[in-house]
């Protein structure tokens, strides 16, 4: 698989510095809530931590109307409960580890959803109308390794402890800043600003999806080649806007980076106890 992807989600190149020099070999641990068991084997890697918000598609009005109709028809007697957050953007957190062509991204989406699983024999109406809706964390991981012959991608639902493993012939290319910059320019040719994101200079490039909607990516083009290869040409932030800039639908921005981190090798491995389905390409 190609090292460079276009959207920030695919790029997963979120980068920022806390404004001070970071010493080499800093030990970085994944937050305990991801449930990883340390192996004791440490690896060198770049580490990037980011946060953001995304659109909340939850529709309280529709659920209330459907449940009111169902009660009038006698198909349920339940009333949904809505805790705060149904009308707010969803917060996101991401922890990215990069070691050559091996990447591991751990993401938390603070989703607004029903706080229970359906019970056996329960109708969909009783389920939806009998819920307490609140903000709950959903945790996932995306581990991607590109070898010289084959690649492997693990898409892991850490909440449900399931995973999909995709593998196939590798198309990995060695890092090439010139080639990657060319791809970025093709996707987002319009330069709209130059910024410094937490101490890192970056170029804001715009990708237009329509006349009134676009995405601004702040790219660390790093002409002086001061960053490690894993972090060059990565997006420092992304903002998706519409209505001539009056509305920001989603954004993400790095808040910490350790270019030379020491991490437990478990972050690059499938967690124990996860049920995996294999997909061959």
- What is the domain partition of the chain in residue ranges? 8-280
Q: Is the pLDDT of residue 13 over 70?
A: no
Residue range 153-192, pLDDT digits in tens: 999 999 899 999 998 887 766 667 788 889 899 999 999 9
Encoded tokens for 19: 């404004």
Q: What angle do CA 210, 215, 218 make, to 5 degrees?
A: 150
Encoded tokens for 280: 């061959």
- What is the fold of 8-280? outer membrane lipoprotein receptor (LolB), chain A (2.50.20)
CB distance 75 to 123 below 8 Å = yes
Pairwise CA distance, residues 32 & 266, whole Å: 13
Residue 247 or 20, more confident: 247
Residue 268 or 174, more confident: 268
Residue range 52-100, pLDDT digits in tens: 999 999 999 999 999 999 999 999 999 999 999 999 999 999 999 999 8
**154 three-class SS:** strand
**CA quadruple 113, 128, 77, 119: dihedral sign:** negative
H/E element, 179: helix 177-187
CB burial of residue 35 (10 Å; 0-12, 13-18, 19+): middle
Please give the model's pTM, rounded to 2 decimal places.
0.83
Compute the mean pLDDT over every residue in the chain, rounded to the nearest whole number: 86
Q: What angle do CA 8, 103, 200 make, to 5 degrees?
A: 55
H/E element, 64: helix 60-73
CB distance 153 to 166 below 8 Å = yes
Q: Which of these, 239, 254, 219, lies nearest to 55 by C-alpha position? A: 239
| Residue owning tokens 């009333």 | 79
User: What is the structure's pLDDT at 24?
Assistant: 57
Q: Which of these, 122, 131, 124, lies nearest to 79 by C-alpha position? A: 131
Average pLDDT over residues 140-153: 89
Residue range 205-253, pLDDT digits in tens: 999 988 888 999 999 888 888 888 888 888 989 999 877 656 667 999 9
Number of other residues whose CB lies within 10 A of the CB of residue 17 = 20
């Amino acid at each position: 698989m190609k090292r460079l992807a276009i959207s920030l989600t695919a790029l997963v190149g979120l980068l920022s510095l806390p404004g001070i020099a970071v010493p080499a070999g800093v030990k970085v641990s994944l937050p305990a809530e991801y449930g990883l068991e340390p192996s004791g084997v440490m690896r060198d890697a770049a580490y990037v931590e980011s946060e953001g918000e995304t659109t909340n598609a939850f529709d309280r009005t529709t659920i209330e109307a459907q449940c009111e109709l169902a009660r009038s028809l006698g198909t349920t007697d339940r009333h949904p409960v809505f805790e705060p957050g149904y009308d707010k953007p969803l917060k996101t957190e991401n922890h990215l580890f990069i070691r050559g062509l091996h990447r591991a991204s751990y993401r938390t989406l603070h989703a607004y959803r029903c706080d229970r699983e359906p019970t056996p024999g329960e109708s969909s109406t009783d389920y939806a109308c009998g819920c307490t809706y609140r903000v709950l964390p959903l945790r996932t991981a995306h581990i991607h390794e590109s070898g010289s012959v084959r690649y492997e991608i693990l898409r892991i639902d850490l909440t449900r402890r399931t995973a999909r493993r995709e593998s196939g012939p590798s198309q990995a290319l060695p890092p090439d800043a010139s080639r990657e910059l060319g791809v970025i320019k093709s996707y987002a040719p319009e330069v709209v600003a130059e910024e410094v994101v937490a101490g890192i200079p970056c170029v804001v490039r715009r990708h237009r999806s329509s006349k009134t909607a676009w995405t601004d990516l702040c790219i660390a083009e790093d002409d002086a080649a001061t960053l490690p290869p894993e972090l060059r040409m990565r997006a420092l932030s992304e903002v998706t806007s519409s209505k001539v800039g009056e509305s920001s639908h989603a954004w993400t921005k790095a808040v910490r980076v350790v270019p030379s981190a020491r991490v437990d090798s478990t972050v690059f491995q499938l967690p124990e106890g996860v049920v995996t389905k294999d997909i061959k390409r």
